[in-house]
Structure formats: structure tokens, C-alpha cells
């Protein structure tokens, strides 16, 4: 039997840059006041490919031209909140299948005056993910007690909580961003859950709310990027043509949300052959001049499974 429910394919872009020691994501704002990822509906009559359609929507909504892009995941759960369906004048019962993309840029320049897009730290939405200055207090003060109450008497829930948030001696695994967000959603501890189910807001505010399921899409992108840093030299898509090794380390730390052991990081970096000195020195910083390096893209092309080592400075 052929379904009579209209089906739309939406395209969402998680556009990431870094500035100093902060990982940034480009967002727009809905009429509801909620932050949202750049989003547009794929029109097979106008758009030849998903990629071209995505680039067009991002350009139209933010003024940015996408560079590096990779497909992230397809989000099609039936119970997704789908206000986007109304944006294209579609029937209110339309089902939206959203294809998420990860886009990286070394330039977090401001959007033009005619656009409402803004760069925000992704830790604005996931404050429990930034461990660069130690384990965030809200994990043990706010999150853990509520998760334990929610999981009481259910061994599977307790185990998920322990593993996701490194409770009771478990090790923090930085790639489990999506697992942690979905656990908080299931436990009713993020505002999106209350909004989607028509329930009262939780008694704590754990990060800024995003439209629809865009915080879940962003969590998926962060998980992907954190994992991929370790087996692909993808971090260099976020770097300018010339950079110091300190700037490279700060970028990796910003993405992973944890401090790295400097000597071990540089020792491992030397072995990869990914960077080479330019002979030029950074000037105008007020500190000791540091040599500028560049990424050897030709050397990395034949390395199928090589990324950057991420030796932790301290254990959580």
C-alpha cells in the first residue's frame, strides 16, 4: 500500500569553525527565538544534487560559501518534531526526512548585515562536554543525581548513565556526545523533550535549546568530528594556510574538549609528517616568536587511516 503522507527531504548544515580556543557553529534563529542550523528543503525540480541544494540554502540563509562538506547522517524518526515542513508550504502532516551535513571552514567571519546568522560556541548547547579546565561541576551537581533518580531500579539505565557521563570511576569518552544528549533527552532533562511531548520544562537548564531536533544533529556532528580527528587529518580543514603548533594544539583541544600533553602531542605530530616549517615567524603577539607551519596535504593523501594523536594531559 502506498502511503498518502507527503514526504519532504530537508538538508541541515553543521558549519564548524574555531576562533582562538573556541569551537564555533553557525546558527540562524527561528521566530520562536530558538537557535537553528541552516536548513532547506530539497526540491528535485530546482536542485540537481543534494550537495548543490545544501550549498544554495546555506548561501541564501547565511551568506557563506561552503568549502569542505561531508554527509553526516539521515534523521527520519517518525516522532521528530518537524516545523520545517511548514516552511515550504507543505501540508501540515508532511513527514520530513532530514539529511545532516558537516561543513568545516578556517574562517569564522561575521555574516553580512542582511543575514541573521551568528557564530556561537558549541559548548553553549553542550556545557557538560568541555573538560579543558577539569570536569564540569554541573555533571556531578546537577546531571548525575537526576540521572540516577531516573534510572533507579533499572540496571540498563544505570549502566548507560555510568558509561555516558563517566560515573563511579568510568573513563570519560569524548566521542559519546550523541549518547549523552540522547540519554538526557530520554530522561526528560533537556527542554526539547518537554517541548516535543507538551510537558512542563525540566527544573534545570542544561544548555541552550535548539529548534526541532537540531541539537541532536549538532551532537552527531561533534561526535563524528571528535572521532575522525584521530584517524583523518581533518583538523587542518579548520586551520589557516600557516599556523603555529600551539594554535594547532589549541584547535584540537577545543574540538575534543580536553587538554593535551604538549610534548607527547608534538612528538606524535612529528611522526606523521603532516606539517612542515615555513621558516617564517609569528609576529605581533607580544610573546616569544613561534615558527609558522603549513599542512603537507600531498603527504597525507596516501595515508588512509592516519589522524592526530590526542594524548591527554590529565585523566578525568
pLDDT, tens only, 56-73: 888 888 888 888 899 998
What pLDDT is attached to residue 110?
78
What pLDDT is attached to residue 150?
96
What pLDDT is attached to residue 84?
43
What pLDDT is attached to residue 60?
87
What pLDDT is attached to residue 276?
94
What pLDDT is attached to residue 217?
94
Please state the pTM of the whole predicted model. 0.90
Residues 6 or more apart from 166 whose CB is under 8 A from it? 135, 139, 172, 173, 316
What pLDDT is attached to residue 257?
97
Distance CA 291, CA 282 (A): 6
Residue ranges of domains in the chain, CATH in brackets: 7-124 (3.90.79.10), 131-207 (no CATH), 236-300 (1.10.10.10)
What pLDDT is attached to residue 10?
86
- Which residue numbers in the chain have pLDDT < 70? 1-5, 76-94, 112-114, 284-287, 299-305, 314-316
What pLDDT is attached to residue 304?
52
Supply the Cα-derived Rg of the chain in whole angstroms.
Answer: 21
How confident is the model over 244-298, as pLDDT tens digits? 999 999 999 999 999 999 999 999 999 999 999 999 998 766 667 889 999 998 7
What pLDDT is attached to residue 92?
62
Amino acid at each position: 500500500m502506498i502511503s498518502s503522507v507527503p514526504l519532504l527531504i530537508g538538508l541541515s548544515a553543521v558549519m564548524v569553525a574555531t576562533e582562538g580556543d573556541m569551537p564555533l557553529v553557525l546558527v540562524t534563529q527561528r521566530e520562536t527565538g530558538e537557535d537553528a542550523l541552516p536548513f532547506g528543503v530539497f526540491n528535485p525540480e530546482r536542485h540537481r544534487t543534494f550537495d548543490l541544494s545544501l550549498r544554495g540554502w546555506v548561501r541564501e540563509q547565511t551568506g557563506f560559501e561552503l568549502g569542505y562538506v561531508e554527509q553526516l547522517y539521515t534523521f527520519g524518526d517518525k516522532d521528530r518534531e518537524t516545523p520545517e515542513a511548514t516552511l515550504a508550504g507543505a501540508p501540515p502532516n508532511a513527514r520530513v526526512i532530514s539529511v545532516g551535513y558537516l561543513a568545516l571552514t578556517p574562517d569564522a567571519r561575521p555574516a553580512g548585515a542582511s543575514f541573521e546568522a551568528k557564530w556561537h560556541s558549541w559548548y553553549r548547547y553542550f556545557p557538560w562536554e568541555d573538560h579543558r579546565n577539569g570536569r564540569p561541576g554541573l555533571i556531578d551537581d546537577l546531571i548525575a543525581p537526576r540521572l540516577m533518580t531516573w534510572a533507579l531500579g533499572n540496571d540498563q539505565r544505570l549502566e548507560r548513565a555510568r558509561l555516558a557521563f563517566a560515573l563511579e570511576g568510568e573513563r570519560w569518552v569524548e566521542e559519546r556526545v550523541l549518547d549523552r544528549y540522547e540519554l538526557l533527552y530520554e530522561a526528560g532533562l533537556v527542554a526539547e523533550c518537554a517541548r516535543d511531548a507538551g510537558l512542563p520544562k525540566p527544573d534545570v537548564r542544561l544548555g541552550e535549546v535548539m529548534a526541532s531536533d537540531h541539537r541532536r544533529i549538532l551532537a552527531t556532528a561533534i561526535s563524528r568530528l571528535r572521532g575522525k580527528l584521530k584517524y583523518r587529518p581533518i583538523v587542518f580543514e579548520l586551520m589557516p594556510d600557516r599556523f603555529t603548533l600551539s594554535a594547532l594544539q589549541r584547535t584540537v583541544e577545543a574540538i575534543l574538549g580536553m587538554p593535551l600533553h604538549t610534548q607527547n602531542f608534538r612528538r606524535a605530530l612529528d611522526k606523521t609528517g603532516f606539517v612542515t616549517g615555513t621558516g617564517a615567524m609569528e609576529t605581533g603577539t607580544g610573546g616569544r616568536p613561534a615558527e609558522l607551519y603549513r599542512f603537507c596535504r600531498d603527504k597525507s593523501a596516501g595515508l588512509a587511516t592516519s589522524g592526530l594523536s590526542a594524548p591527554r594531559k590529565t585523566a578525568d
